[in-house]
Amino acid sequence: MLEAILLTVITAATPLVVAALGELVTERAGVLNLGVEGMMVMGAVGAFAVTQITGSPYIGLLAGIASGALFSLLFGFLTLTLVANQVATGLALTLLGLGASGMLGESYVGAPGIKLQPITIPLLSEIPFLGPVLFRQDIIFYLSVALVVGVNWFLFKSRTGLKLRAIGDNHASAHALGIRVIRTRYLAVLFGGACAGLAGAQLSLIYTPQWVENMTAGRGWIALALVVFASWRPWRVLAGGYLFGAVSIGQLHAQAMGVGIPSQFLSALPYAATIVVLVIISHNRRTTLINTPACLGKAFVPDR
């Protein structure tokens, strides 16, 4: 029983971790992209549609990543080149993604999905309990762990990561030192979109291998909250993602066991938990101010 619960928690947490890591890098560069939900749902429909056409979920996975990345470029063009308001543009991107994905995926509603099969690691997968939980997982789970390690190293150990954080903290000073602010922010936005697309692909190829309109169901907003919850630290994103994943799965198991609580309340529990966590974090203003990129959400126009 415990093994089955852990497996479902991992499946539920993986898209949250991947999407939040992409947004974390974007925000570390000083860009606030609220369009994570829209990019995720575009990744989901892109992955499912291409999988149906080609018959290969791995090609579909690449299509999901590309869909999220291309959609993020629209946000980048509007906010970084045309200097549009980042908050308004991100919200518009989410609405556009939800509408466009519903239209593109209309013909795939009800179509049987092709599930991305897990990777079995020889010998290790035979270990009792730990084997099926850690060594018999899908490729996106392993990518999520690799992303946590890679993003942490990139941001805090590499020279390029230092430049990216410098842009997020003071883009004017970074520009004066010769750092190409707009190009770096474009790359950060592109990475965030690719991660959101990968997270969306996980939903339509693994979590529930089918296409359903608005199947992200607010996970993009939870990923955004997860970045703040983690104080812009990759390892905390991993812990927070599994915490929120456990809450999401916990309410499903509670309903299955017939707990005497209205199902509507249990369904709202993951989002209520998100609000509670943000309220608690907001009380520690000192920690929040120290970790928040100083130029987050601020437009940059280089001197001509």
Interval 177-191: pLDDT, tens: 999 999 999 999 999
How large is the average pLDDT for residues 132-143? 90
| Inside any domain, residue 304 | no
pLDDT at residue 36 tops 60 = yes
Q: Quote the pLDDT of residue 259.
A: 66
Helix (H, G, I), strand (E, B) or coil at 151: helix
- pLDDT band for 127, please (50, 70, 90 cuts): confident
The pair phi, psi for residue 232, each rounded to 5°, is 60, 35
How large is the average pLDDT for residues 119-129? 83
More confident residue, 29 or 248: 29
Residue type, 215: M
Domain that holds residue 59: 2-120+136-291
Residue type, 155: L
How many domains in the chain? 1
Q: Quote the pLDDT of residue 154.
A: 97
| Inside any domain, residue 300 | no
pLDDT at residue 291 tops 80 = no
Find out whether 40 and 48 touch, Cβ atoms under 8 Å: no
| Inside any domain, residue 130 | no
- The CATH number of whichever domain residue 175 belongs to comes to 1.10.3470
How large is the average pLDDT for residues 56-70? 96
| Inside any domain, residue 129 | no
The pair phi, psi for residue 120, each rounded to 5°, is -100, 120
How large is the average pLDDT for residues 63-73? 97
Q: What is the pLDDT of residues 212-252, one digit of tens each?
A: 999 998 899 999 989 988 889 999 999 989 988 888 777 76
| Inside any domain, residue 206 | yes
Query: Cα(92)–Cα(114) distance, rounded to whole angstroms?
Result: 31
Q: Quote the pLDDT of residue 285.
A: 67
| Inside any domain, residue 127 | no
Query: Cα(186)–Cα(125) distance, rounded to whole angstroms?
Result: 40
| Inside any domain, residue 59 | yes
| Inside any domain, residue 152 | yes
Is the pTM higher than 0.95? The answer reads no
Helix (H, G, I), strand (E, B) or coil at 210: coil
Contacts of 235 (CB under 8 A, 6+ apart): 148, 152
CA distances from 129 to 3, 69, 246 (A): 7, 37, 18
Radius of gyration of the chain (CA): 19
Query: Cα(221)–Cα(103) distance, rounded to whole angstroms?
Result: 22
